[in-house]
Amino acid sequence: MTKKYLKLLLKLCLTATALYMVYRKIDVQQVKEAFLKVHFGWLFLAFLGYNASKILSSFRLNYFFKSIELQLSNWFNLKLYYIGMFYNLFLPGGIGGDGYKVFVLKRGSEQSVKNLVGAALLDRVSGLAALCFLALSLFLFSSSFDLLQNFQGLIYLAILAIYPVFFAGLKIVFKRFVSVFGMTNLLSFGVQGIQLLSAFFILQALGVESGYTDYLTLFLVSSVVAAIPFTIGGIGAREIVFVYGNTFFGIETNIAVTFSLLFFLLNAVSSFLGAFVSIDLKQSTDSENVIQKKPQQNAVASSTL
């Protein structure tokens, strides 16, 4: 059995274990009833918001590409982004979304794998930095912040340190990306802000009337955990955070788990759209179609897609 299949098997086992732990902590009947009472108007708004955040994410990634003189049209990059989402969620044991992007762009340009991987990696790190910053900041206004009196100073310090540490690391390891630090992090705040709005719409769809700060703080924390690829598409990981975070924040467990499952469904449906997007790899070396070289810079210019 190859390494990738062992990795997939491990993820399946961890996902199943996480879901089993969640199953033991919830009332399945109440979760089912919450699903049946969902307001689909609010849920549709959440779906639109989630996809708006992904479109903004693709713009952020394109800034990283531009910093290595890889000029892609926003349309081509968006198509590539959605295909990557599909690979990440539905083919977790295979090439992966970031790997697919690197493969396509390496074939269609003269960029090194190192530069392409660096751009894809920093796109994720930028999103993770915004998640951590917003999660800690929102936690300051949650109902449970006063319970951590001995650690409040550390929380404030962590909030203040996230971006200086990120910037210092960027200057040491990825100097050529420093020029887009400000814009990409601004876009990351936009991405996570829109996802928070999408999460709020899900809460409205479930009829939640109070405790929004606690729910949204846990949502951001669960997003940080889900970004670590130890389960399939983050499913199970988010639910674990909501189930055990309930004991700290005092929110309603069944509603919280239903919320996280609905968010996963939005992610799954959105990612599945990538299955209907096609990019002709044979055209990736065709200067008239996908990626052009700038004559004056011998770099890569905009796509006509």
In the numeric block, which tokens belong to residue 291? 């990626």
**Helices then strands (H, E): number in the chain?**
11, 2
Whether 66 and 183 have beta carbons less than 8 Å apart is answered as no
| Residue 248: predicted pLDDT | 77
CA distance 63 to 71: 9
Q: Could you tell me which residues come within 8 angstroms of residue 106 by beta carbon, excluding any fewer than 6 positions away?
A: 113, 116
Whether 74 and 59 have beta carbons less than 8 Å apart is answered as yes
Please name the residue that has the structure tokens 């894809």. Answer: 120
pTM surpassing 0.75?
A: yes
Residue 302 vs residue 83, higher pLDDT: 83
pLDDT (tens digit, 9 = 90+) per residue, 114-173? 999 999 999 999 999 999 999 999 999 988 888 788 888 999 999 999 999 999 999 999
Task: For residue 62, report the phi and psi dihedrals to the nearest 5 degrees.
Answer: -65, -30
- The burial class, CB within 10 Å (0-12 / 13-18 / 19+), for 260 is buried
CA distance 223 to 242: 11
CA distance 112 to 115: 5
| Residue 231: predicted pLDDT | 58
pLDDT (tens digit, 9 = 90+) per residue, 172-222? 999 999 999 999 999 999 999 999 999 999 999 999 988 899 999 989 998
- Three-class secondary structure of residue 174 per DSSP: coil
CA distance 204 to 201: 5
